């Protein structure tokens, strides 16, 4: 069955030299193919099971800058077109962190042109992930605030490690506003009432709290996250693929189309909003508070 919800714009931009793609090397082994190992996104494709593991690899906190988002989009596009690939596990190569969300330094004292390019890369990565035909599962083995939470929510299933880790859309705490499509994904995940509270408060939840509101599907000890994802995948892989993909497509189409129909307007709005003096001041204070935490 043809992939119904795939976008190619990141690749196109890469070919036009507007963004820098990942190393793109492909190494073949007996059962595993590894794409783009030199970059910030590691892909390990298990040809026997058809399951790809995509690991964010930008220590210390996997913050999502233009390069990471571009590499992620390209990796997802490759998997989408790989007929042998049935499922994708999104995980982290950095211990204690899933992703710290968008790289705040991309939003602080940046140029409008860079802001627009950065936002387009985020849009494309998200459209590829949320619109994927693949079974997608997030293995959340660490903190997952803001953009990290968006990535996790955009998967079909989430397993989170118990303990000190937190997840949520905390944008208001930075003095910024979660874009409408972040909100739409959260609405689809935890419903209207919980989303209203979560977004206004910029709430960050422990794994147990996240489980209680349906933000994650399972909470297990850290060492059990990957085996639990693998066990759950076995169930999902038994469902006839065409029926599952049509179901997923029909449930996500409205939210995907809402962004697709106004990508440029959304990117321009982001660049204008983020460069407001008041927003820059809030971001500056937030960066200072992150640095102060260490001293």
Ligand X SMILES: CC/C=C\CC/C=C/CC(=O)SCCNC(=O)CCNC(=O)[C@H](O)C(C)(C)COP(=O)(O)OP(=O)(O)OC[C@H]1O[C@@H](n2cnc3c(N)ncnc32)[C@H](O)[C@@H]1OP(=O)(O)O
Residues that bind ligand X (CB under 6 A): 60-61, 63, 96-97, 100-105, 143, 145-147, 170-171, 174, 176-177, 179, 269-270, 273-274, 290-291, 293-294
Task: Label each residue of 28-80 as H, E or C.
Answer: ECCCEEEECCCCCEEEEEECCCCEEEEEECCCCCCCECHHHHHHHHHHHHHHH
Min CB(101)–ligand X separation in Å: 3
Q: Tell me whether residue 232 is one of the annotated catalytic residues.
A: no
Minimum CB distance to ligand X smaller for 26 or for 177: 177
Q: 156 near 28, Cβ under 8 Å?
A: no
Q: Tell me whether residue 76 is one of the annotated catalytic residues.
A: no
> Which position among 90, 102, 129, 256 bears the catalytic label?
102
Min CB(249)–ligand X separation in Å: 26
What is the C-alpha separation between 19 and 26, in angstroms, rounded?
A: 20
Minimum CB distance to ligand X smaller for 236 or for 273: 273
Minimum CB distance to ligand X smaller for 45 or for 104: 104
Min CB(239)–ligand X separation in Å: 32
Min CB(49)–ligand X separation in Å: 31
Q: Tell me whether residue 17 is one of the annotated catalytic residues.
A: no
Min CB(150)–ligand X separation in Å: 7
Min CB(220)–ligand X separation in Å: 20
DSSP-derived letter for residue 47 is T
> Which position among 76, 171, 215, 259 bears the catalytic label?
171
Q: Which residues pair with 46 in a beta bridge?
A: 32, 51
Quickly count helices (H) and strands (E) in the chain. Answer: 11, 12
What is the C-alpha separation between 56 and 263, in angstroms, rounded?
A: 25
Q: 74 near 21, Cβ under 8 Å?
A: yes
> Which position among 56, 101, 170, 215 bears the catalytic label?
170
Minimum CB distance to ligand X smaller for 104 or for 127: 104
Instruction: Say which residues have a Cβ less than 8 Å from residue 26's Cβ, sequence separation at least 6.
Output: 33, 34, 35
Minimum CB distance to ligand X smaller for 45 or for 102: 102
DSSP-derived letter for residue 69 is H
Closest residue by beta carbon to ligand X:
101
What is the C-alpha separation between 91 and 42, in angstroms, rounded?
A: 10
Minimum CB distance to ligand X smaller for 48 or for 113: 113
Exposure string over 108-123, b if 16+ CB within 10 A, otherwise e: bebeeeebbbbbbbbb
> Which position among 147, 148, 168, 202 bears the catalytic label?
147
Q: Which among 181, 171, 166, 173 is positioned nearest to 122, based on CA atoms? A: 181
Q: Tell me whether residue 72 is one of the annotated catalytic residues.
A: no
Report helix angle 180-190 to 192-201, nearest 10. 130
Q: Which residues are catalytic?
A: 102, 147, 170-171
């Amino acid at each position: 069955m043809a992939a119904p919800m795939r976008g190619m714009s990141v690749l196109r931009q890469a070919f036009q030299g507007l963004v820098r793609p990942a190393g793109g090397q492909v190494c073949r082994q007996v059962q595993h193919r590894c794409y783009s190992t030199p970059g910030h996104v590691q892909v390990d494709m298990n040809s026997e099971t058809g399951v790809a593991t995509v690991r964010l690899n930008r220590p210390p906190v996997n913050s999502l800058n233009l390069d990471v988002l571009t590499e992620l989009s390209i990796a997802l596009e490759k998997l989408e077109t790989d007929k042998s690939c049935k499922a994708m596990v999104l995980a982290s190569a950095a211990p204690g962190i899933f992703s710290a969300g968008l790289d705040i330094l991309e939003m602080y004292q940046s140029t409008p042109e860079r802001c627009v390019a950065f936002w387009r890369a985020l849009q494309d990565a998200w459209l590829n992930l949320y619109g994927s035909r693949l079974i997608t599962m997030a293995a959340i083995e660490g903190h997952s605030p803001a953009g990290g939470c968006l990535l996790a929510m955009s998967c079909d299933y989430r397993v989170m490690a118990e303990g000190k880790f937190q997840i949520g859309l905390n944008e208001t705490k930075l003095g910024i506003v979660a874009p409408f499509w972040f909100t739409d994904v959260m609405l689809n995940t935890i419903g209207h009432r919980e989303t209203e509270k979560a977004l206004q408060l910029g709430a960050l939840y422990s794994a147990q709290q996240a489980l209680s509101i349906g933000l994650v599907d399972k909470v297990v000890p850290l060492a059990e996250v990957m085996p639990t994802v693998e066990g759950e995948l076995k169930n999902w892989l038994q469902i006839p693929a065409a029926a599952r993909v049509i179901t997923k497509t029909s449930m996500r189409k409205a939210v995907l189309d809402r962004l697709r129909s106004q990508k440029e307007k959304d990117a321009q709005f982001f660049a204008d909003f983020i460069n407001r003096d008041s927003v820059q001041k809030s971001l500056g204070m937030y960066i200072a508070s992150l640095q102060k935490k260490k001293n």
